[in-house]
């Protein structure tokens, strides 16, 4: 079940708001001692919710799998300890250590820790229906279109696809939007040139998840293009955002 590569644990809203802590869904890398049952208890959710959120039907996990879990992310401040942080959130120290793969108690300021069991994760937070293969496809598009750009730009690229799915004016799924043609032309260049087949980075995968779960730095855009683009038709569109070298429009 290695559908996801190992990535650094990080919360979606933390990336967007840059606050010290936030309540959101986060990535958790499965260890050899984990099971769906034990993780559902650790993160105060249900097995069925974990399965549905991560779009898999099997009842077992493999070491190294990365799954979405309900979590609060805390940024360690000077003078804090694991004991103090556990007390602040009212959770057992053992749970805090387990959620962060700790055997000892050493932490450093600026470090980000998963706080398990703080806020139940809701399936409804995903703004559209999607499959694990579509999550991967969206990540590959993001990688092809925005490699080298910031996370915000990557999320915005993914959000354009999500906005099209939701609009009712385009194809109704991620896959169909990405492969959609008008007048025999693909809407997304990476589909035509084959770059859609390239393996996405961990950040592009993270951006795809963030977009699917409602993050939209593009501010409702349904088009994006590079600032060096010479297409006057695109430049004539009402712009919603400019992020790094990318322009987003409706």
Give one DSSP letter per residue of 173-187, joined into a string: SHHHHHT-EETTEES
Predicted pLDDT of residue 20? 34
Does residue 228 sit in helix, strand or coil?
coil
Alpha-carbon Rg for the chain, nearest whole angstrom, is: 19
Confirm if 55 and 131 have CB atoms less than 8 A apart: yes
205 to each of 17, 22, 142, 143, how far by Cα in Å? 19, 20, 8, 8
* pTM, rounded to two decimals: 0.58
Domain ranges of the chain: 12-125, 132-249
209 to each of 31, 61, 145, 176, how far by Cα in Å? 22, 20, 16, 18
Cβ neighbours around 181 below 10 Å, total? 11
Q: At what angle do helices 151-167 and 132-146 cross, to 10 degrees?
A: 130
Looking at the DSSP bridge assignments, the partners of residue 116 are: 71
Predicted pLDDT of residue 16? 34
Cβ neighbours for 130, distance < 8 A, ≥ 6 positions apart:
55, 138, 173, 174, 212
Q: What's the CA gap between 156 and 221, in Å, rounded?
A: 8
Predicted pLDDT of residue 49? 81
Mean pLDDT in order along the chain per 10 residues (250 residues)? 36 34 66 92 86 74 85 89 87 92 92 78 66 93 96 94 97 98 92 96 87 90 96 96 95
Which is nearest to 206 in space by CA: 58, 1, 6? 6
CATH number of 12-125: 3.10.350.10
Predicted pLDDT of residue 117? 75
Instruction: Count Cα neighbours of 8 within 13 Å in the Cβ-side half-sphere.
Output: 9
Predicted pLDDT of residue 18? 31
Pairing of strands 223-226, 185-186: unpaired
Predicted pLDDT of residue 125? 61
Predicted pLDDT of residue 206? 82
Does residue 197 sit in helix, strand or coil?
helix
CATH topology of domain 132-249: Arc Repressor Mutant, subunit A (1.10.10)
* Domain 132-249 in the same topology as domain 12-125: no
DSSP string, 52-114: HHTT---S---TT-EEEEEEEEEE--TT--HHHHHHHHT--HHHHHHHTT-SS----TT-EEE
Predicted pLDDT of residue 8? 31
DSSP string, 11-58: BHHHHHH--SEEEEEEEEE--TT--HHHHHHHTTS-HHHHHHHTT---
Predicted pLDDT of residue 27? 82
């Amino acid at each position: 079940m290695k559908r996801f590569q190992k990535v650094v644990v990080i919360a979606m809203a933390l990336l967007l708001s840059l606050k010290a802590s936030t309540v959101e869904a986060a990535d958790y890398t499965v260890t050899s001692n984990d099971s769906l049952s034990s993780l559902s208890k650790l993160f105060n959710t249900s097995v069925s919710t974990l399965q549905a959120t991560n779009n898999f039907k099997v009842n077992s996990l493999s070491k190294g799998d990365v799954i979405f879990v309900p979590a609060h992310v805390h940024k360690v401040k000077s003078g804090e300890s694991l004991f103090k942080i556990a007390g602040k959130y009212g959770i057992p120290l053992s749970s805090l250590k387990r959620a962060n793969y700790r055997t000892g108690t050493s932490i450093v300021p600026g470090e980000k820790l998963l706080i398990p069991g703080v806020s139940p994760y809701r399936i409804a937070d995903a703004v559209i229906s999607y499959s694990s293969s579509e999550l991967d496809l969206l990540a590959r598009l993001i990688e092809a279109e925005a490699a080298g750009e910031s996370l915000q730009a990557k999320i915005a690229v993914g959000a354009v696809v999500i906005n099209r799915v939701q609009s009712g004016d385009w194809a109704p799924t991620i896959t169909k939007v990405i492969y959609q043609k008008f007048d025999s032309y693909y809407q997304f260049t990476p589909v035509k040139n084959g770059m859609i087949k390239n393996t996405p980075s961990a950040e592009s995968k993270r951006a795809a998840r963030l977009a699917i779960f409602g993050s939209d730095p593009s501010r409702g855009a349904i088009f994006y293009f590079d600032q060096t683009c010479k297409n006057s038709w695109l430049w004539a569109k009402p712009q919603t955002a400019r992020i790094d070298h990318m322009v987003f429009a409706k």
